[in-house]
Amino acid sequence: MDYKETISYLFNAAPLFQQLGAGAYKEGLETTLTLDEHFGHPHKRFRTIHIAGTNGKGSCSHSIAAVLQRAGYKVGLFTSPHLVDFRERIRVNGQMISEDYVVKFVEEERAFFEPLHPSFFEITTAMAFKYFADQHVDIAVVEVGLGGRLDCTNIITPEISIITNISFDHVQFLGDTLAKIASEKAGIIKPGVPVVIGETVPETRPVFEAKAQEVGAPIFFAEDSDVLTSAEIDPAGGVDYMTEEYGFIHSELGGYCQLKNSKTILTALRVLRENGLRFTDDAVHEGLEAVCRLTGLRGRWEVFQHHPYIVCDTGHNVGGMQYIVQQLANVVASRQHGGDRCHLHMVFGMVSDKDISTILTMLPKDATYYFCQASVKRARPAEQICQEAAEHGLRGKAYPSVSDAFQAATFAAFDNDIVFVGGSSFIVADFLASNS
Hey, what domains does the chain have and what are their CATH numbers? 3-295 (3.40.1190.10), 302-434 (3.90.190.20)
Between CA 15 and CA 21, with CA 20 as vertex, the angle to 5 degrees is 105
CA distance 216 to 379: 43
Q: Supply the DSSP symbol for 329.
A: H
CA distance 214 to 200: 19
Helix (H, G, I), strand (E, B) or coil at 305: strand
The pLDDT tens digits of the residues spanning 294-306 come to 999 999 999 999 9
Backbone φ and ψ for 142, nearest 5 degrees, come out as -115, 120
Of 254, 282, 423, the closest CA to residue 347 belongs to 423
Question: For residue 421, what pLDDT band results from cuts at 50, 70 and 90?
Answer: very high
Backbone φ and ψ for 435, nearest 5 degrees, come out as -135, 30
The yes-or-no verdict on residue 322 having pLDDT over 70 is yes
The pLDDT tens digits of the residues spanning 14-29 come to 754 344 444 444 567 8
The pLDDT value recorded for residue 27 is 62
Contacts with 45 (C-beta within 8 Å, 6 or more apart), sequence order: 132, 133, 136
Please compute the mean of the pLDDT values over residues 89-116 and round it to a whole number.
96
Question: For residue 168, what pLDDT band results from cuts at 50, 70 and 90?
Answer: low
The pLDDT tens digits of the residues spanning 243-266 come to 999 999 999 998 888 888 999 999
If one counts every other C-beta atom within 10 angstroms of the C-beta of residue 72, the result is 12
- Are the beta carbons of 93 and 72 closer than 8 angstroms? no
b/e burial code for range 353-392 (CB count within 10 A of at least 16 → b): ebebeebbeebeeebbbbbbbbebebbbebeebbebbeee
